[in-house]
Chain A
């Protein structure tokens, strides 16, 4: 790590007071006073109900909240755990809090959490988002238990989703991560996850915490570190997730996730270039749940944005994509909107060529990732057109087929990755 300690003295003092723990629950916050109380209640209840004997600490890492978040965290502890006979939990559930900076950073938040986990020798840890408004105690135990009892090192969440939620994950992030890293972990971009103290210690030792990709989406890097390091990964079903919309547009989301994933591929290339087919991971609860609820996103503009993007970004796409891939994309962009189809084979090829170009830095990586946005819109439009009225099962079948296509074409990726153009 850097020469100067990032741990504030006050935080260190709090850690000293806590001592060794079995469980650590980290709650990164930034102006979450409105929902933090409910989150804390669920976390404490979960610890009380499920881990009565374990030494536990709830750690709040705050990015400089201007509201009452930190005060709320500190003050709302206490006698709430008294049961009907007045005495239920065996141990003190410690609460400690630190402010890691004056601006929110998921990476810095996680850095403080893993540092605490390492120093306190926590066996199982979970990160919980205070923005999730329907968090229940079962979420916390479902993330901690596989780590604590089953000795897993990374536990991703599985959410119950409507058909039109999480499309980026379903059409790109999951199939690609599954193909690249060989483990069928559905959600490596998430706000709640579990990890072991061992993984925390390994992550703490890495010199990547100043990297933009880690600062923005550290959870995916942590997942990839676990997978790439041969540690045991799994996933645990949490149920539906309700959180207020972030307001982040698709460009920023793709930059944060796909760009981040490309970076993870690069930093972990030694672990996946020789990899084989994917393997299922231990899953706790249902594999996942897809409901028929949900309204498809408006399709009106999506196709136009795809078509204009392909046209406007032609020189950029030419430098990223193989000639025939580019040609095929240009061809489908000209097709009849009502009969539009973005073939899975072409989509996978496109994504892999973007990944390879990212690796070879054929142009500014920031711009490169952004250039994928209109193409993703094309893929999305094609999906919506074909699946607007499809059953959950049909959509799942399509998703699995896409995953297999990603795996089938992995050698193509490896070839392009290795050969500098």
Chain B
């Protein structure tokens, strides 16, 4: 594969929902024209890819993941032409665009399902998974335990049950039917032809159902992915597929195949363990999960993140770890949903700038393509009382003025209330005020992204964990040819001393990467460093 086609390895992805970002027409809902107007901001931030949450026509009962039309734009967000204009403007700024491809299910309002439920003889009947009983696939876990009692839902129209792994208004497509695969491929082609750079495939482990199995990660599912990948490689070089498979790394590994399935996949288990490590003040959770992370093909890459539009999922941690995370990060029951925590980064860190920076530093220095969730770069807060995960999907806070600069609509008309409390409210936390300060979180985030982007070793380099006896310190060396970077993180709330065995790098000079100051040359003795609470260093190791 040509190096330029591996762009996703070099990306810093910014995740946003068009609805949340900027409203250009004053209807209270963000739209593509508004988003386009903010591309300069994103370019200035230093990101080079945008991952858009679903923007398709939808009854919006699951924030757009219930799609009613795959090849159009929800009217509230603009027109298809608006999207094309946005895409062109992003590309002009060397920003790639990744869109959602919700392949596992549709909305029950999708014409396909409406036809399918119309009669048992309808040609589209077999596009979904039907049964006369709700006893098939017994034992398959229910994902949305808080809201769903079964994976089957009764359809009163056609008087039979249909299969759904998520909400009951999201019937699963039947991938055993070749016509479904062709239809979804046509959808992909539609967007690829317009110019999108990649797809995040939603809920991929669940495409196929088989009796006597967990109906997850089945071989037939992989065959479907390989088929899509083959078609994309043949006709659309340089396009990327990102898997959403909320599984343990060993299970996700199979979605990379031999480099012939997904280009990227989320590393779900790493994220909660980063939070856990900071709270425990112990590197163990991070080291353990990365040690259990299998090697992936050279052309593949993990996607890593701190927070996103969903709950901070705790599906891939043990019960003990989950309890700990709840107790430490979600004391208020309102902060919990499904098997996770519906909070943003800054509130989880109790608005402690040092911890926010530490976690962001980890995100940007560990192997993998980092994803920054919109608003986290300025330390936006959340509203856990808004229901579902809407508390982390509130309008972007651009300034301290009318509706935070998000919309000119009456505040009552906004798709969601703004965050308005004294700590995280838009008067206190917003882009404009942080732009004016060289020491704001926004300015710091720009600087650290810039540093990451300037050194290829962060994007492509190997990682070697050091093992200092002080377990409050997480240290590693990233290496790519002659480019070497030493990263030392103090995970604790108190100052720490650490001795690092850097014999492999004897005679190298550590150069601190933000201030560019020289540190003493590495010699025979263990390299002694002291770090303040939650402090971290990035050192370029140079042999001069």
Q: Is the interface of A mostly helix, strand, loop or mixed?
A: loop
> In chain A between 1 and 41, which residues have their CB closer than 8 angstroms to a CB of chain B?
13-14, 16-20
B288 and A17: CB pair below 8 A? Answer: no
B472 and A52: CB pair below 8 A? Answer: no
Say yes or no: is B385 at the interface (Cβ < 8 Å to chain A).
Answer: no
> In chain A between 67 and 87, which residues have their CB closer than 8 angstroms to a CB of chain B?
83, 85-87
Contacts of A89 in B (CB 8 A): 284
B289, B292, B324, B472: the one contacting A90 at CB < 8 Å is B324
Contacts of A87 in B (CB 8 A): 285, 288-289, 292, 317-318, 321
Contacts of A387 in B (CB 8 A): none
Contacts of B498 in A (CB 8 A): 17
Contacts of B194 in A (CB 8 A): none
Say yes or no: is B469 at the interface (Cβ < 8 Å to chain A).
Answer: yes
Chain B nearest Cβ from A57, distance in angstroms: 10
B468 and A90: CB pair below 8 A? Answer: no
Say yes or no: is A279 at the interface (Cβ < 8 Å to chain B).
Answer: no
> In chain B between 477 and 497, which residues have their CB closer than 8 angstroms to a CB of chain A?
492, 494, 496-497
Bound-complex Cα distance A335 to B142 (A):
84
Bound-complex Cα distance A18 to B281 (A):
11
> B interface, how many residues as a size bin?
20 to 34
Chain A nearest Cβ from B469, distance in angstroms: 4
A13, A19, A53, A85: the one contacting B472 at CB < 8 Å is A19
Bound-complex Cα distance A41 to B222 (A):
42
A-contacting residues of B (Cβ < 8 Å)? Answer: 276, 280-285, 288-289, 292, 317-318, 320-321, 324, 468-472, 492, 494, 496-499
Known contacts A14-B469, A86-B288: A91-B280 contact under CB 8 Å: yes
B324 and A17: CB pair below 8 A? Answer: no
A88 and B318: CB pair below 8 A? Answer: yes
B471 and A17: CB pair below 8 A? Answer: yes
A16, A88, A94: the one contacting B320 at CB < 8 Å is A88
Contacts of A86 in B (CB 8 A): 288, 292
B292 and A16: CB pair below 8 A? Answer: no
Contacts of A91 in B (CB 8 A): 280, 282, 284, 471
A17 and B318: CB pair below 8 A? Answer: no
Known contacts A87-B288, A90-B276, A90-B284: A17-B468 contact under CB 8 Å: yes
A16 and B318: CB pair below 8 A? Answer: no
Say yes or no: is A311 at the interface (Cβ < 8 Å to chain B).
Answer: no
> In chain A between 92 and 117, which residues have their CB closer than 8 angstroms to a CB of chain B?
92, 94
Bound-complex Cα distance A88 to B323 (A):
12
Question: Which 3 A-B pairs have CB atoms at the shortest separation, nearest pair first?
Answer: A17-B469, A17-B470, A92-B471
Contacts of A13 in B (CB 8 A): 469, 499
What is the chain B residue whose CB lies nearest that of A85? B318
Contacts of B468 in A (CB 8 A): 17
B-contacting residues of A (Cβ < 8 Å)? Answer: 13-14, 16-20, 52-53, 55, 83, 85-92, 94
Q: Count chain B CB atoms within 10 A of each CB in A13, A89, A92 and give the residue with the most.
A: A92
Bound-complex Cα distance A161 to B97 (A):
74
What is the chain A residue whose CB lies nearest that of B284? A92
Known contacts A85-B318, A91-B284: A19-B292 contact under CB 8 Å: no
A94 and B471: CB pair below 8 A? Answer: yes
Given A19-B494, A55-B281, A87-B317, 7 more A-B residue pairs with CB atoms under 8 Å apart are A14-B469, A18-B470, A87-B318, A88-B318, A90-B282, A92-B282, A94-B471
Known contacts A87-B317, A90-B321, A92-B471: A16-B497 contact under CB 8 Å: yes
B318 and A83: CB pair below 8 A? Answer: yes
Contacts of B318 in A (CB 8 A): 83, 85, 87-88
Chain A nearest Cβ from B180, distance in angstroms: 35
Contacts of A92 in B (CB 8 A): 282-284, 471
What is the chain B residue whose CB lies nearest that of A84? B318
Bound-complex Cα distance A19 to B283 (A):
14
B284 and A52: CB pair below 8 A? Answer: no
Contacts of B471 in A (CB 8 A): 17-18, 91-92, 94
Contacts of A83 in B (CB 8 A): 318
Chain B nearest Cβ from A53, distance in angstroms: 6
Contacts of A94 in B (CB 8 A): 471
Chain B nearest Cβ from A5, distance in angstroms: 18
Bound-complex Cα distance A68 to B492 (A):
35
Chain A nearest Cβ from B129, distance in angstroms: 30
What is the chain B residue whose CB lies nearest that of A20? B494
Contacts of B320 in A (CB 8 A): 52, 88, 90
Bound-complex Cα distance A13 to B320 (A):
32
Contacts of A90 in B (CB 8 A): 276, 280, 282, 284-285, 320-321, 324
Bound-complex Cα distance A53 to B324 (A):
8
Contacts of B494 in A (CB 8 A): 19-20
Chain B nearest Cβ from A176, distance in angstroms: 46
Bound-complex Cα distance A89 to B281 (A):
14
